Amino acid sequence: METKKDWYKDAVVYQIYPKSFCDSNGDGIGDFKGIISKLDYLKDLGVNTVWISPCYPTPDKDNGYDISDFDNVDPKFGTMEDFEEMLEEMHKRGIRLLMDLVVNHTSDEHEWFKSAIQGKDAKYRDYYIWKDPVNGGPPNKWGGDAIGGSAWIYDEKSGQYYLHVGFHYQPDLDWENPKVREEIANMINRWFDRGVDGFRCDVINMISKDFDAPHPGDGPRLHEFLHELYEKCFKPHNAFTVGEVWDLPPEDSLMLTHPDRGELTLAFQFEHMRVGREDGKRFYPAEFKPHDFVDVLAKWQKGLNGEGWNALCMENHDQPRCLNRFGNTGKYRRESAKMLATLLYCQQGTPFLYEGQELGCINPIFHTLEESIDIESCNNQDILVKKFGVEETLRRFSFDSRDCGRVPMAWDDSENGGFTTGKPWIKLNDFYKDINAKNELAAADGVYGYYKNLFKVRAANKTLMRGDFELLKNADGEVVFRRFLEGEKDVYVVLNYSEKKIKVNKPCKGGKLMLSTHQRKRLDENMTLKPYEAMIVEA
């Protein structure tokens, strides 16, 4: 495949959660052959890059984010040959593959940790972070995954603590150890040798730690470690890397991604995910204000402008469906799905979408506590039940649990939604008979078709692909922004982020309608926009 330098700017990235995408052999778990069978579906949508959530061997306590062997694939997904076939089939279609790189920690069942826990003299002891007790307790106050718990686990045998900043079975690797960094760089290069094109880098700002800081992550050697990986791995392979980092302002995000620095290509920002949550906290819904949502997005457009590049994302495997959070799941499901796509993907940056988002999927409903199986929900369950009772806890899980997007992809309205012929590993979405790929593709006003047209319009327009961004209006549901690029015509995006009809003016003199969510035929001086109506206009 051609290796244009800035290929990430032309990418449309589709995230596959492999367990839930498509099952080819009836064991209830998605797999590589299942993915191969859907590549034409992705190609047709306009996707040219896939990010696959971890598919390495794993005890699966965190759905693969607990890796026990970096160099293989988990047999539940198929063999290494199946993986290679999948990659080849992607490349044949001009689709590149980003793997998930989870190197802040391993599973506690990784060979390195199984050795390390044997004692102070064990071969791989120094691959992990061990500390003596301080005043008879953990070395610092960092919190762990269990509410009120510590990030440090005491090991009776050696009398030392080891660190896990993620879940308790995810011990942190010691990046201060040059051997660890070398192992990881070599491992990354082996995946490049197998042909992968880049990586999504899990909780990557955690790899350097300052033990005196109030929170782990963003330690003093973060940039040095990333630059080392860049020189050894990413640069020689012209790779596209995107970091998962939380709660960094644009200035700090640029420190990770500015092209002059040689670290990562992009970093996600999740600030807009905080809108509609009390203090940004999952399971604590607050009033959602579209105005604030748009403002945060615009802040990041401005913050990275001319120096960095946004990763445009509103769903992933850790987030519920965007329609439940930011749109409408009822009467205006399709309309709000299209409006949100227009709002997000007409900004400057690289689109990321999560499986099912292109169908306007909405969250399932969790009817019993047993149905909600994700570790983060389980960890929070007791507290929520104590505070709010079971019914309200279930309501909150159905609004905000990580399982919301992890239920099987619905391909059609047949039994098990065409995902599997067996028993799915997690419940189906309650709404799969209505909301599935077959229906969305067949409907004249389906969401899939709109996404497809949107990506087409975008790809063919230089201003939308590269231009700068300016927010012109964000009040009472009316949102207008402009994209501009030297030597090209301006592009205006006008949308109604409300359930009311609103009156708007034509955004510019003349103008040509490039795309409309509501089959609008022409532009008028004064227009009444229907609920969630959106349009793209070329000046």
Residue 419 in contact with ligand GLC, rule: CB under 6 A: no
Q: Could you give the string, one character per residue 456-495, with x where binding to ligand GLC holds by CB under 6 A and - elsewhere?
A: ----------------------------------------
User: Residue 159 is encoded by which pair of tokens?
Assistant: 């009398």
CA dihedral 284, 290, 291, 295 (to 10 degrees): 80
Q: Could you give the string, one character per residue 42-71, with x where binding to ligand GLC holds by CB under 6 A and - elsewhere?
A: --------------------x--x------
Catalytic, out of 174, 218, 244, 358: 244
Which entry of ligand GLC, Ca ion, none binds 23, CB below 5 to 8 A by partner kind? Answer: Ca ion
Nearer to ligand GLC, 202 or 478 (CB): 202
Which entry of ligand GLC, Ca ion, none binds 65, CB below 5 to 8 A by partner kind? Answer: ligand GLC
Integer CA distances (angstroms), 157 to 132, 154, 160, 358, 505, in order: 12, 9, 8, 51, 72
Active site residue 371: no
Scanning the structure block, which residue is given the tokens 């004064």? Answer: 526
Nearer to Ca ion, 24 or 316 (CB): 24
Which entry of ligand GLC, Ca ion, none binds 25, CB below 5 to 8 A by partner kind? Answer: Ca ion
CB atoms near residue 193 (< 10 Å): 9
Which entry of Ca ion, ligand GLC, none binds 197, CB below 5 to 8 A by partner kind? Answer: none
- Contact 535/480 with Cβ under 8 angstroms? no
**What span, in angstroms and rounded, lies between the C-alpha atoms of 73 and 90?**
17
Stretch 4-23 residues interacting with Ca ion (CB under 5 A):
23
Q: Could you give the string, one character per residue 238-277, with x where binding to ligand GLC holds by CB under 6 A and - elsewhere?
A: ------x---------------------------------
Closest CA to 238 of 43, 1, 52: 1
Using the contact rule CB under 5 A, the part of the chain among 29-37, 48-56, 111-119, 516-524 near Ca ion is 29-37
Stretch 312-351 residues interacting with ligand GLC (CB under 6 A):
317-318
Which entry of Ca ion, ligand GLC, none binds 203, CB below 5 to 8 A by partner kind? Answer: ligand GLC
Nearer to ligand GLC, 203 or 353 (CB): 203
CA atoms within 13 A of residue 272's CA, in its CB half-sphere: 26
Residue 27 in contact with Ca ion, rule: CB under 5 A: yes
> Angle 447-459/333-345 helices, nearest 10 degrees?
20
Scanning the structure block, which residue is given the tokens 């940790």? Answer: 113
CB atoms near residue 148 (< 10 Å): 7
Active site residue 382: no
Residue 403 in contact with ligand GLC, rule: CB under 6 A: no
Which entry of Ca ion, ligand GLC, none binds 27, CB below 5 to 8 A by partner kind? Answer: Ca ion
Nearer to Ca ion, 30 or 507 (CB): 30
CB atoms near residue 447 (< 10 Å): 25
Which entry of Ca ion, ligand GLC, none binds 335, CB below 5 to 8 A by partner kind? Answer: none
Q: State residue 432 phi and psi, 5-degree precision.
A: -65, -25
Q: Supply the minimum distance, in Å, between the C-beta of residue 208 and Ca ion.
A: 38
Cβ neighbours of residue 92 under 8 Å, at least 6 residues apart? none
Identified binder of ligand GLC from the candidate list 31, 202, 228, 478, rule CB under 6 A: 202
Identified binder of Ca ion from the candidate list 12, 29, 256, 523, rule CB under 5 A: 29
Render 376-415 in DSSP notation, one character per residue: HHHHHHHHHHHHH-HHHHHHHHHHH-GGGGTSPP--SSSG
Taking every pair of Cα atoms in the chain, the longest distance, rounded to a whole number of angstroms, is: 78
Closest CA to 13 of 357, 360, 492: 357
Q: Supply the minimum distance, in Å, between the C-beta of residue 166 and ligand GLC.
A: 4
Identified binder of ligand GLC from the candidate list 163, 188, 203, 523, rule CB under 6 A: 203
Which entry of Ca ion, ligand GLC, none binds 29, CB below 5 to 8 A by partner kind? Answer: Ca ion
Catalytic, out of 202, 218, 403, 440: 202
Residue 166 in contact with ligand GLC, rule: CB under 6 A: yes
**What span, in angstroms and rounded, lies between the C-alpha atoms of 474 and 480?**
7
User: Residue 9 is encoded by which pair of tokens?
Assistant: 């700017």
Q: What are the helix and strand counts (H, E) for the chain?
A: 16, 18
Closest CA to 288 of 353, 336, 338, 224: 336
Radius of gyration of the chain (CA): 23
Catalytic residue positions, numbered: 202, 244
Q: Which residues bind ligand GLC (CB under 6 A)?
A: 62, 65, 166, 170, 202-203, 244, 317-318
Tell me which residues touch Ca ion (CB under 5 A).
23, 25, 27, 29, 31
